[in-house]
Amino acid sequence: MGFRDCSNIAGTISTDTAVAVILFAIPTVYGILMRQIWITETGGPDVLKMQETADPIPHNGEVRIRVEAIGVSFVDVLCRKGVYPGMPATPLVPGLEIAGTIDQVSQGVGDLKEGEQVFALTHFGGYSDVVCVPHKQVYRRLDWMPVEEAAALPVNYLLAYQMLVAMGSLRAGDAVLIHQADRGVGLAALDVATILGADTFGTAPLSRHELLRSRGLTHVVDMTKEDFERVFRGERDGRGMQIILDSLGGVYWPKNYRLLMPTGRLINYGLNSMSGAAKRSRRQWLRGLIMLPYYTPLKLMRDNKGVLGVDLNQLWSVPELQQRWM
């Protein structure tokens, strides 16, 4: 989905289902103030405001990019609600992934040049006409790659690769459960798992099952109608899962842990079940925290299970890892 008029952004990107597969294009206009979308305070879509400012100047080791498309991730939605751990204080400019053209290169950058078409990870600030980014977070776009697809790559697919391959040690034939498989990270994880030959399981609303099956998902459950733990354990003859990607947290933590087979890995990367309201809900968070599991080393050893946590945005200081995965 594309947007050429930035005035339409605020109402569109702020729905709970708007994830990184939704993109908008920002026309590059030289000689005028650049535009940014700000979260002025936490709340609903109306807290997103457009502001104008001068073009930034890249610091040593940075390149400046004229942005043509951005990715909209669920992190942006959580920041708008004020429930993303470690988010900057409001007001802030959201946005973690962009694509565009380099128009300025500072000192200390030897591998990129002006005029190159690129995509990049941004440590917030991506909802802008112009962005300065450390050169190690910038990747060249392949000639065949549309700008919209390039902008959707960094968060979703890097995160999926980190969880399944770098940390999950996925092998062909492994049973992988992907929660919220119809969302941005879920679809990326489904692609990666399918390519690597996994037996894929997922949770998603019934209206999304046909899409997911067309993308290669072999087993799917609507959690509002069925107990995924019971259904999937039955389909696996009681064996459980090798890998579970948990974007939900809260009340689902113990169910996912129980569903792991011996040597299985539970990979936590979200708390979406605790962030349903427009603003932070103390009741939701308290209910989720009550279900917070306590894994002792002795219990993990006895169960032969692993519990891992992932937050791609916290790897900003080690870009060499992301470069290796990309």
Query: CATH code at 185?
Result: 3.40.50.720
291 Cβ contact list (under 8 Å, min separation 6): 250, 251, 253, 254
Return the pLDDT at 33.
Answer: 86
Q: Are both 106 and 201 inside the same structural domain?
A: no
Residue 80 sits at φ, ψ, to 5 deg, of -60, -35
Return the pLDDT at 293.
Answer: 72
Nearest-angstrom CA–CA distance, 69 and 149? 9
Type and span of the H or E element at 244: strand 241-246
Residue that is last in its domain, among 155, 184, 214 = 155
pLDDT above 70: percentage of residues in the chain: 84
Q: Are both 269 and 137 inside the same structural domain?
A: no
Q: Examine residue 142 and state whether it is found in any structural domain, yes or no.
A: yes
Q: Are both 148 and 173 inside the same structural domain?
A: no
Q: Examine residue 229 and state whether it is found in any structural domain, yes or no.
A: yes
Q: Are both 151 and 183 inside the same structural domain?
A: no
Domain containing residue 177: 168-293
Q: Which segment of 28-42, 144-158, 279-293, 307-321 scores lowest on mean pLDDT?
A: 279-293
Integer CA distances (angstroms), 309 to 2, 108, 167, 244, 265, in order? 33, 34, 9, 12, 10
Q: Examine residue 244 and state whether it is found in any structural domain, yes or no.
A: yes
CB of 89 within 8 A of CB of 39? no
Number of independent structural domains in the chain: 2
Whole-prediction pTM value? 0.84
Q: Which segment of 27-31, 105-109, 239-243, 263-267 scores lowest on mean pLDDT?
A: 27-31
Q: Examine residue 323 and state whether it is found in any structural domain, yes or no.
A: no
Go through 159-198 and write b for each residue having 16 or more CB atoms within 10 A of its CB, e for each that does not: bbbbbbeebbebeeebbbbbbbbbbbbbbbbbebbbeeeb
Q: What is the pLDDT of residues 11-25, one digit of tens each?
A: 344 333 333 333 444
Q: Examine residue 285 and state whether it is found in any structural domain, yes or no.
A: yes
Residue that is last in its domain, among 98, 128, 155 = 155
The DSSP bridge partners found for residue 38 are 49
Q: Which of 195, 122, 123 is nearest to 165 (CA)?
A: 195
- The CATH number given to whatever domain includes residue 97 is 3.90.180.10
Task: Supply the mean pLDDT for the chain.
Answer: 86
Return the pLDDT at 314.
Answer: 83
DSSP string over 93-161: ---SEEEEEEEEE-TT--S--TT-EEEEE-SS--SBSEEEEEGGGEEEPPTT--HHHHHHHHHHHHHHH
Task: Check whether 70 has a pLDDT greater than 50.
Answer: yes
How large is the average pLDDT for residues 229-244?
Answer: 96
